[in-house]
Amino acid sequence: MELVTYTLLFVSLYFEVFLLVTFLEKIAYRKHSAASTPQTYPSVAIVVPCFNEERGLGATLHSLLALHYPAGKLEVIVVDDGSTDKTFAIASEFAPQVRVFRKENGGKHTAMNFALAQTNAELIGCLDADSVVEPEALLRTARVFEQTEVSAVTPGIHVRAPHTLLQHMQNVEYRISIFIRFMQAALGSAFVTPGPFSVFRTSVVRELGGWREGHSTEDMELALRMQAGGHLIANAPGAVVYTTTPRTFRALLRQRVRWTYGFLRNALDYRYMLANRSYGNLGLIVLPLALVSIFSGIYFFFSVVFQLTISLISTYTRVEQTGLLPHPSLELYYVNTSAMWFLVWVAILFVVVLICAGSWIGSGSRKPPLSTPLFLFFYSFLVPIWLSVAVVRAFFNTGVRWR
C-alpha cells in the first residue's frame, strides 16, 4: 500500500513540475494569443444549440451580438433541438440578426450538424446557451487562426457569477482548468474542445464527418478525432467566456459523471493512441496520466477513509480502556514529519501554484481566489465520488444523459 501511495505521489508531483517548467518555456505563446486584433477577418458562424434554455438564452444572444467583429463576417445561428418551453419564441425575438431553426430533439451533436449544413462560413463555433462571451473574445480567437496549421481554438472559460459555496469552489477548479488547457495546447495535446465558445475550421469539421454523440461528450470525441487526424488544437485564454456552473451537489454530480464517463469511454474508443509515440505528448503523456489521475483520486480517497477509520477505532479503544480523552497539541514535537506527509504538502503547494498560474493566464491576477482553501480541503473529497460512479458506469457501459 505504501509503495502504491509513494508511486502515485511521485507521478503527481512529476506531472505538476513538468507542467510548470514547460509553462515557463512556453510563456511566449501567451503573448501571441493575447493579441486582440487579427490581420484578416475570416467569416464565422457561432451556433447556439438549445434544449429548454429559456432562462439564459437571451443573455447568451445579447453577448454574441455585442461581439467586436465585422457584421458582414459574423452570423449567429440558434438551433432549437425540440424544446418544450419558450426557447424558440425567445430566439425568434432576435431575428433577423440571428438565424433561428427548429428541429426534432436528437441531441447536441445533431443540432451542431444541422447548423453545419446551413452555413458557408470559414469558421464555425459553438456557444452553450448558459454562457456569455466578452466582446473581444472572437477577435482573439480569429487571431490564433492566422496560424494555418491550427484547426480549432479553445477559449479561457470562467465561472459566471458564482453564488453558492459549491460554485465558488468550482471557480478555483476552473482556474486550474485554464492553466491545464493552455498547457495542453502548448504541448499539442488538447483532447477536449469545450462547448462554451470553441471554434473550428469548417472545412476540417466537414472533412472529419461532423459531430458525433461521443458518449454524451461530443466535444471530447471530436477533439480526439482531430488529434487522430493530425490536426492542431490551440488555446486562446484571452478569449474569455463565462459559463454557468451547477449550484447543487446533485447537479454537479450528474455533470461530472457525464464528463468522466465520456472520457473513459472515448479513451477506450481511441485506445490505439495510448502510449503511441505517433501521437506525441498526447499519446505518451497526457492521456495516460489523465487515466492514472482518475484511479489515483479514487485510491487516495479510500486510503484516507481507511486510515481515518483505523485511527477512530484506535482512539475509541484507547479512551474506553484508559478513560483519557485525546489532547491535541500544536507543539512541533507532535507534527507528523514522515516523508509521505512531506510529499503530500509539497503536492498541495504545487496545486496552489497551478491555481495562481491559471489566474494569471486567465485574468492577469496572480492571486488565487479566496475560496482556494475550501477547494483544497473540501472539494477534493467530493471529486472521488463522481470518479467512482463514472468508473463503475463506464465499466458496465450504462450510458449517461445530459438531463
Asked if 235 and 151 count as a contact pair (C-beta separation under 8 A), the reply is: no
Q: What is the pLDDT of residue 33?
A: 46
Write the CA distances from 133 to 6, 41, 196, integer angstroms: 43, 18, 9
Query: Residue 243's pLDDT is what?
Result: 98
What torsion do the CA atoms of 284, 289, 295, 301 make, to the nearest 10 degrees? Answer: 160
What residues contact 95, with CB distance under 8 A and at least 6 apart?
A: none
State residue 16's pLDDT score: 87
pLDDT of residue 304: 84
Q: Distances from the Cα of 397 to the Cαs of 262, 264, 268, 269, 387, in angstroms?
A: 10, 10, 11, 12, 15
Average pLDDT, the chain: 92
Paired strand residues for 201:
123
What is the pLDDT at residue 319?
A: 86
pLDDT, block means (10 residues), the chain with 403 residues: 85 87 71 63 98 97 97 96 97 97 97 98 97 97 96 97 96 96 94 97 98 97 98 96 97 97 98 96 95 93 88 87 73 67 86 93 88 93 95 95 74
Domain ranges of the chain: 1-29+169-191+245-403, 30-168+192-244
Q: What pLDDT is recorded for position 3? A: 86
Q: Cα–Cα distances in Å, from 188 out to 25, 88, 224, 363?
A: 14, 39, 12, 23
Q: pLDDT value at position 13?
A: 87
Residue 328, pLDDT score: 66
Cα–Cα distance list, 18 to 25, 43, 106, 294, 370 (Å): 11, 38, 42, 19, 26
Specify the fold of 30-168+192-244.
Spore Coat Polysaccharide Biosynthesis Protein SpsA; Chain A (3.90.550)
User: What is the edge-to-edge ordering of all strands in the sheet holding 123-126?
Assistant: 98-103, 74-81, 44-50, 123-126, 198-201, 150-159, 232-243, 131-133
